[in-house]
Amino acid sequence: MRVVSGSLKGRPLKAVPGSSTRPTTDKVKEAIFNMIGPYFDGGRALDLFGGSGGLGIEALSRGADSCIFVDREQKAVQTIHLNLEACRLKDQAEVYRNDAERALKAILKRDLRFQLVFLDPPYKQQKLKALINYISEMKLVDDGGYIVAEHGTEVSLPDEIGGCRLIKHETYGAAAVSIYLFGSGRMGEN
């Protein structure tokens, strides 16, 4: 696992120890960012099921100003900290050990908005539709911002969820990626 592109291109990333976390492959990560970027002129990202932190770190490497990382597993939180330290990104990141729903409520209280939200929950415990709907209803994404959901290929998400519309869906082996655009923005405008 490594940073695919940007200022930290080629930097190796540690994986979360054990088998409870499935990292996004470099191929899928590169495909995601080619669909939504590939580079950014600032903005804030949220990596809600952080794992190793690979998606949020990739966003920072490609120009995002800051990223909030959340994971409920202690091993994942420790790995995110190690990867941020190795990439010298600690000052652009916040890391929290929390579950997704509680983290979103805490973010709402802080009145934060994101340009990029990454949702890559464990495939067997997905509540993606409910999470996307909540993020949309609470307007946690800026107009024209993206919600990127990685999920198993057996999961079928609707074309519209709340104020978000599906703009891209691709499969990569057992993994699928669905990208939603919030509000009235058009793909390619970031």
CA distance 120 to 152: 10
Q: How confident is the prediction for the chain on average, in pLDDT?
A: 91
| Whole-number pLDDT of residue 190 | 39
Task: Decide if 114 contacts 141 (C-beta within 8 A).
Answer: yes
Any domain includes 130 = yes
Neighbours of 17 (CB within 10 A): 11
DSSP 38: S
The total of structural domains in the chain comes to 1
Any domain includes 9 = no
Q: What is the pTM for the complete model shown?
A: 0.92
Any domain includes 6 = no
| Whole-number pLDDT of residue 185 | 58
Q: Range of 48's domain?
A: 26-182
Any domain includes 19 = no
Any domain includes 114 = yes
Any domain includes 145 = yes
- On the question of pLDDT at 188 being above 60, the answer is no
| Whole-number pLDDT of residue 189 | 42
Rg of the chain over Cα atoms, rounded to whole angstroms, equals 15
Any domain includes 30 = yes
Any domain includes 20 = no
> What is the average pLDDT across 103-107?
95
> Dihedral of the CA atoms 151, 157, 159, 165 (nearest 10)?
-50
Name the strand (E) or helix (H) holding 67. strand 66-71
- 164: nearest Cα among 147, 151, 176: 147
> What is the average pLDDT across 76-90?
97
pLDDT in tens, 14-26: 999 887 677 788 8
CATH of the domain at 54: 3.40.50.150
